[in-house]
Amino acid sequence: MTSQGQINLLDLDSDALGHYFQEIGERPFRAQQIIKWVHQQGVTDFSAMTNLSKALRDRLLSETEIRAPEIESEQLSDDGTRKWLVRVDGENCVETVFIPEGERGTLCVSSQVGCPLACSFCATARQGFNRNLSVGEIIGQVWLAARQLGQLPKEGRYITNVVMMGMGEPLLNFENVVAAMRLMLDDNAYNLARKRVTLSTAGVVPGIDRLAERCPVSLAISLHATNDELRNVLVPINRKYPLAELLDACRRYANVNPHSEITFEYVMLKGINDTVAEARTLIGLLEGLPAKVNLIPFNPFESAGYERSTDAAIDAFRDKLVSSGLVTITRKTRGDDIDAACGQLVGEVQARALRHRKRVH
């Protein structure tokens, strides 16, 4: 609810909306009507919802609101990538990125204000952590992007894929992220196939198992190292959930979602993790998993402390993986001229004490 006690309808998925309507004596199918108006048509004026009775519209006006985050600024890259700075409260902003490529349009969505995981190669981690985003603040990024891209009223299809790869660790905001993804998948909202919604995690093992039970979308793992010693430095949550436990969770996930490959993301850091020997180790780690590998050339930021691997090193690493039969793609760097590339999102975060970091170390 808002400070005025009004319910933000963007915070409610189909089940929650159905429950609300039952509580006020309305039939549950009203939930589908509201979802269509709000998410497919982008309507925020209750008086325009003509298939609802005037009495219901008046009640919705008094008890509820449709409140999305606000766009603070927009940047357009030379390659067509768009980055929005999205204000979620008086002190904090997150970043949302839209990447067009042919008929495909991928929206990269944030799940937290900042991030508590402190991955050493990631600009977001340097911002600290403030709080989880609400359902409305997560799905609101999709809602805003659709409107900015002219997708509403629903005439075209610009956002074809959503990736939970923006600021934050999605599985540490589990309930809100799942509710938002349910709206992404909802036929009456954004109607995306499960394979077109991807959640990327640094390796929160219990969350992977819960996701398999609750909302088995496409899964991506921020791997970045082939041994625990290095991964403890690059991805500190590995100290709590080491590689063996993480890969076992991936196998369990694959059993629940057998028709979808798991993507393993691997940032290429010069002299750190980019040798052919490490490629051989990675092949062994992923043996038996329905895996594909995304090699991510490191996107530098101020005081990063790392350098991007050379093209020759990236090519040799990729060729070794491909020769073993692993589907491997070197991700094209998009939006780096506006700091919208992987690992560069920073937003504006008024960080609280970073006590959350201690919980995962």
336: CATH: 3.20.20.70
Domain that holds residue 290: 70-360
83 touches 74 (CB < 8 A):
yes
Confidence (pLDDT) at 326: 97
Q: Which one of the listed residues 95, 137, 169, 265 is annotated catalytic?
A: 95
| pLDDT tens-digit readout, 271-325 | 999 999 999 999 999 999 999 999 999 988 777 789 999 999 999 999 999 999 9
pLDDT of 134 above 80: yes
Query: Number of structural domains, the chain?
Result: 2
Are 259 and 315 in a shared domain? yes
| pLDDT tens-digit readout, 93-131 | 999 999 988 888 999 999 999 899 989 888 777 778 899
Are 229 and 310 in a shared domain? yes
Confidence (pLDDT) at 1: 46
Are 128 and 228 in a shared domain? yes
Strands 262-268 and 218-222: parallel
Question: Is 95 in the active site?
Answer: yes
38: CATH: 1.10.150.530
314 touches 274 (CB < 8 A):
yes
Confidence (pLDDT) at 349: 57
Inside any domain, residue 212: yes
342 touches 165 (CB < 8 A):
yes
> Where are the extended beta strands (E) located within the chain?
7-8, 64-65, 70-76, 82-87, 93-101, 104-108, 112-114, 129-132, 161-164, 197-201, 218-222, 262-268, 291-297, 327-330
Are 17 and 83 in a shared domain? no
Are 23 and 120 in a shared domain? no
Residue 185 CA: distances (Å) to CA of 155, 196, 259, 305: 18, 9, 17, 39
Neighbour tally for 94: CB within 10 Å:
31
Inside any domain, residue 2: no
Are 58 and 99 in a shared domain? no
Are 249 and 131 in a shared domain? yes
pLDDT of 157 above 90: no
Alpha-carbon span 340 to 77, nearest angstrom = 8
Confidence (pLDDT) at 140: 97
Are 52 and 82 in a shared domain? no
Q: Which one of the listed residues 108, 278, 342, 348 is annotated catalytic?
A: 342
Residue 23 CA: distances (Å) to CA of 28, 54, 322: 10, 18, 56
Inside any domain, residue 1: no
Are 41 and 84 in a shared domain? no
Residue 53 CA: distances (Å) to CA of 12, 60, 64, 155, 267: 21, 11, 16, 26, 54
> Of 65, 88, 106, at which residue does a domain stop?
65
Mean pLDDT rounded to a whole number for the chain: 90
Are 76 and 58 in a shared domain? no
Q: What is this structure's pTM?
A: 0.91
Are 24 and 78 in a shared domain? no
Are 99 and 140 in a shared domain? yes
Question: Is 119 in the active site?
Answer: no
